[in-house]
Amino acid sequence: MQNNHNPLHPPTHKRKPDTNCDTRFEDLAELLPQIVFELDEDLRFTFFNWSAIDIIGHAYDEQAEDRAGIFDIVCEPDREKVRSFFTRIQQDVTSGHIECCITAHDGRKIPAIIYASPIIGEKRIAGVHGVIVDISEQARLEKALALTNQKLNMMNSVTRHDVLNSITGVLGLCDMLAATTTDRDAKELAAGIRDQVVRIKDQILFTKDYQSVGVKAPQWQGLCQCVRDAAAAVGRESIHIHLPANDARIYADPLFGRVFYNLIDNSIRHGGPVRNIAVETETVPDGSLIIRYRDDGCGIPPHEKQKIFEQGYGKNTGFGLFFIREVLAITGLAIRETGEVGKGVVFEITVPKETWRVPG
């Protein structure tokens, strides 16, 4: 049975456009697979396209006094944040989007993004119009990808644990061999084998950190706090760490703090008699933020400035600076070395304007 006054029932008629512009708008809206809608001041539907019926089974009836509103299709847990979103749209006269969950006509919960902007009348905001995009497939893919990463990480962890146990056994045998022979050549050979096994161990330990790069979503992190935590983890009290005068929040991989840990560790290992390390910030004309890391060590020769970021280059495993570059690249940050030999290193990290902000 058809009920022309039920706002949640498919309509028996459609709004007749008043102008050619309205006709073109509705014709275009009917071609789109997304929900195209208009709301009045009270956030009740005054229009949406037929795709809305296919997705949620709801339709509007202009003659009904109890027309359906946007909150009739938004899931209960998300209604308050959606209400605040539309209030901001109307008060600030701005466009925006929000992710929420909508209810389908068969009870399914559909993850979606609502894009909306105000309808500006002659003297006031006359309502809101926008588009609702179904992101169910995206959500399913993200869930499947997260599950796949979890399984791969578990497999890597188990394999790494077993290999490290075997390496520990080989190192023990090298020590026993060196202790049970008086032959100098045999001792040197055992020491060489031990050094190579230690390098293999370091490379395997690096994979533990590297497999975590990009696994978790980027987040906003305080620059000064990251430097403090890194300095505390390194634990060299004889080195003075100077924090930036102006703090900043950086949108980066959760391993962003390891960037400064590795830089400080690199200064200690290769910088010679380093006594001072400073982190400074500078805003450049295009809105980007430059983070400068300085030490008072021996510096890096010009011909090595690019090579130091390559995998495997260095006096130890060569993973430290390569790892830093990979972590920073997750959110578009870049790093280069601009110091002078004999005056210490200067690592410049460029943070795009959209990935940093002033605290608060």
Q: What is the DSSP track for 212-232?
A: TTTTSPPEEEEHHHHHHHHHH
Q: Is residue 128 located within the same domain as residue 147?
A: no
Residue 252 located in a structural domain: yes
Contact between 215 and 330 (Cβ < 8 Å): no
Over residues 330-341, the pLDDT tens digits come to 999 999 999 999
| pLDDT at residue 17 in the model | 44
Q: What is the mean pLDDT of residues 284-304?
A: 93
| pLDDT band (50, 70, 90) for residue 181 | confident
Query: How much is the average pLDDT of 83-88?
Result: 92
pLDDT band of residue 12 (cuts 50, 70, 90) is very low
pLDDT bin (cut points 50, 70, 90) of residue 105 is: confident
Rounded Cα distance between 330 and 350, Å, is 13
Q: Examine the fold and report which residue of 89, 108, 134 is the final residue of a domain before the chain moves on.
A: 134
Find the Cα–Cα–Cα–Cα dihedral 225, 228, 232, 238, rounded to 10°: 180
316 falls within a domain = yes
* 164: alpha, beta or left? (left if phi > 0; alpha if psi -120 to 50): alpha
Mean pLDDT of the region 22-28? 69
Predicted local confidence at residue 212, as pLDDT? 67
Residue 218's nearest CA partner among 241, 249, 197 is 249
Segment 111-130, tens digit of pLDDT: 999 999 998 877 788 889 99
258 three-state secondary structure? helix
* Cα torsion angle, 171, 177, 182, 185, sign: negative
Do residues 81 and 97 lie in contact, with contact meaning Cβ atoms separated by under 8 Å? no
Q: Tell me, what CATH number does 65's domain have?
A: 3.30.450.20
Alpha-carbon distance 56 to 61, whole Å?
Answer: 15
> Above 60 in pLDDT, residue 248?
yes
Helix (H) / strand (E) element for 129: namely strand 125-134
Q: What is the pLDDT of residue 245?
A: 87
CB 76 within 8 A of CB 63: no
Last residue of a domain, one of 210, 227, 258: 210
Calculate the average pLDDT of the chain.
82
In this predicted structure, the answer to whether residue 195 has a pLDDT above a threshold of 90 is: no
Give the pLDDT confidence score for residue 85 in this predicted structure: 93
**Domain boundary, last residue among 66, 101, 134:** 134
Same domain, 228 and 246: yes
Candidates 108, 204, 192; CA nearest to 161 is: 204
Which has the closest alpha carbon to 263: 302, 320, 214? Answer: 320
Identity of the amino acid at 105? H
Residues 281 and 344 in one domain: yes
Counting residues of the chain whose pLDDT is more than 70, the rounded percentage is 84
Cα 357 from Cα 343, distance rounded (Å):
31
| pLDDT recorded at residue 112 | 92
- Specify if 333 maps to a domain: yes
Tens of pLDDT, residue by residue over 26-79, are 777 777 778 888 888 888 888 878 777 777 775 555 545 566 788 888 999 999
DSSP H or E stretch at residue 92: helix 79-92
Higher-pLDDT residue of 149, 284:
284
Q: Do 275 and 328 share a structural domain?
A: yes
Of 345, 347, 340, 318, the closest CA to residue 259 belongs to 347
Give first-to-last CA distance, the chain, whole Å. Answer: 57
Domain of 148, in residue numbers: 140-210
Q: Specify the pLDDT at position 8.
A: 42
Does 194 share its domain with 323? no
Is the pLDDT at 319 greater than 80? The verdict is no
Closest among 80, 92, 152, 143 to 116, alpha carbons compared: 92
Using CB atoms within 10 Å of the CB of residue 289, give its burial: 0 to 12 exposed, 13 to 18 middle, 19+ buried: buried
- Smallest Cα–Cα separation from 270: which of 349, 195, 341, 191? 341
Element (H, E) at 123: none
Residues 163, 73 within the same domain = no
The DSSP letter of residue 302 is G
My answer on whether 129 and 153 are in the same domain is no
Same domain, 62 and 153: no
pLDDT at 61: 53
* Number of domains, the chain: 3
Note the pLDDT of residue 286.
94
